[in-house]
Amino acid sequence: MDVNLIAEMSQDEIDKNFVNATNSYRKRFPKILHSPGDEINRVINFITKDSYMQPHLHPGIEKIEMIRILHGSAAVVFFDNSGVICKSTILKNGGLESIEVPAFTWHTYVMLTDYVITYETMMGVYTPDTWKHLADWAPKEGSEISSEYLSLLRHDVLEMQQHRLV
């Protein structure tokens, strides 16, 4: 795995990508490292704390997502088919730094620090129509209630982590 990806970027490039993320509608910005049609997808994501990703799954046995934290801290949240949180895993530098998300598994990310950088890989040629299925039990990105839902997810993740420590 390309663990030195962040070391290969200048601070100016990192800062510029976070400005792009902050100014974007989705509050994240991808640095795509693969070419169209490649069998393996590789992306560095610059994500701000208020970025909401509608829970989704990747259909296809080859679509196993690998997520590595390069900067900051984020929770990967897993759901059952009705939208109930089954598990959350916190990724952070110096702690658990990577996770594998199985295909056909509902999940999202919750940023726990103001700025997060992830490196993600997944097998399969990217096709927008078949790449992922969005959960119909969760708010759409940009909807009136998406920020409230994100706050609830963050609260639930932090509460789950606190109970694990007790």
Counting the structural domains of the chain, the total is 1
Is 5 within a domain?
A: no
Buried b (16+ CB within 10 A) or exposed e, 55-91: bbbbeeeebbbebbbbbbbbbbbbbeeeeebeebbbb
Asked, for residue 1, whether it belongs to a domain, the answer is no
Q: For residue 165, what pLDDT is reported?
A: 58
Q: CA 100, 120, 49 angle in degrees (round to 5)? A: 100
**pLDDT tens-digit readout, 80-92:** 999 999 999 999 9
Domain annotation covers residue 3: no
Give the pLDDT confidence score for residue 105 in this predicted structure. Answer: 97
Residue 100 is assigned to a structural domain of this protein: yes
Radius of gyration of the chain (CA): 15
Tell me the C-alpha to C-alpha distance, in Å, between residue 82 and each of 56, 78, 79.
Answer: 12, 11, 8
| Residues 6+ positions from 149 with CB-CB distance below 8 Å | 52, 138, 139
What pairs with residue 30 in β-bridges?
45
pLDDT band with cut points at 50, 70 and 90 for residue 164: confident
- pLDDT tens profile 76-128: 999 999 999 999 999 998 899 999 999 999 999 999 999 999 999 999 888 87
Phi, psi at residue 35, to the nearest 5°? -100, 155
CB of 123 closer than 8 Å to CB of 79: no
Domain membership of residue 78 (yes or no) is: yes
Q: Give the H or E element holding residue 162.
A: helix 146-165
Report whether pLDDT(32) > 50: yes
Asked if the model's pLDDT at residue 145 lies above 90, the reply is yes
What band does 75 get if pLDDT is binned at 50, 70 and 90?
very high
CA–CA dist 166, 161 (Å, integer): 9
Residue 142 in domain: yes
What CATH code is carried by the domain that includes residue 64?
2.60.120.10
Confidence of residue 7 (pLDDT cuts 50, 70, 90): low
- Which domain covers residue 72, as residue numbers? 11-165
Any domain includes 111: yes
Q: Tokens 């990217």 belong to which residue? A: 126
